[in-house]
Amino acid sequence: MVMILSALNGCASRPVPAVDQRLIALGQERGASAEQLRRGRELLVTACAYCHTPVYPTSISMERWDKALPRMIEKAQLHAADEADIRAYIIAARATEGGSSH
């Protein structure tokens, strides 16, 4: 049982960053509100998680996010405003780790 749990834990995905003061500040510098960032993260860990584990913001390039997001928004039957919130969160989260927003 310990071995199984260890294996499961070893294969676990990295949790996406929380919306803390630093992330909010970096988001606001890029024109996003705190509420928008919280909503973006919430959508990433709920709507996206129905089909797959949430993708960590820096685990793929922003170019890949730009390609994947519109397709996933359509598949999950979300709206343009949802896409904007998720994108704002991803850009701010990438900035906390020095990632590019482009």
Partner 1 sequence: MCIHQALAARLTGTLSLAAISAIVMLAGPLRSAGADDRRFTFVEESRHHPPAGGLEFEQGILWGADAKEDSKFERLDFRHEIEYGLSDRIQVALDALEWHWQKDAQGHETKYDASGAEIKFRLLDPVTDVIGLGFKTEIEIGRESLHWENVFIVDKVIDKWEFCYNFVIEPDWEGPRYFKYEDSGGELANRFGVSYELSPAWFVGGELIHEIPLPDWKSGEKQNLFIGPNFSYRGHNWAITTTALFLAMGGRDEAQFKLQTIFEIDF
Minimum distance from residue 38 beta carbon to partner 1 (Å)? 18
Q: Which two tokens stand for residue 17?
A: 């960053």
* 1 in contact with partner 1 (CB under 8 A): no
Q: Does 2 help bind partner 1 (rule: CB under 8 A)?
A: no
Segment 48-51 long-range contacts (CB within 8 Å, at least 24 positions apart): 48/72, 48/76, 50/76, 51/75, 51/76
- 47 makes contact with partner 1 (CB under 8 A): yes
**Interface residues toward partner 1, by CB under 8 A:** 8, 11-13, 46-47, 49-53, 55, 71, 75-77
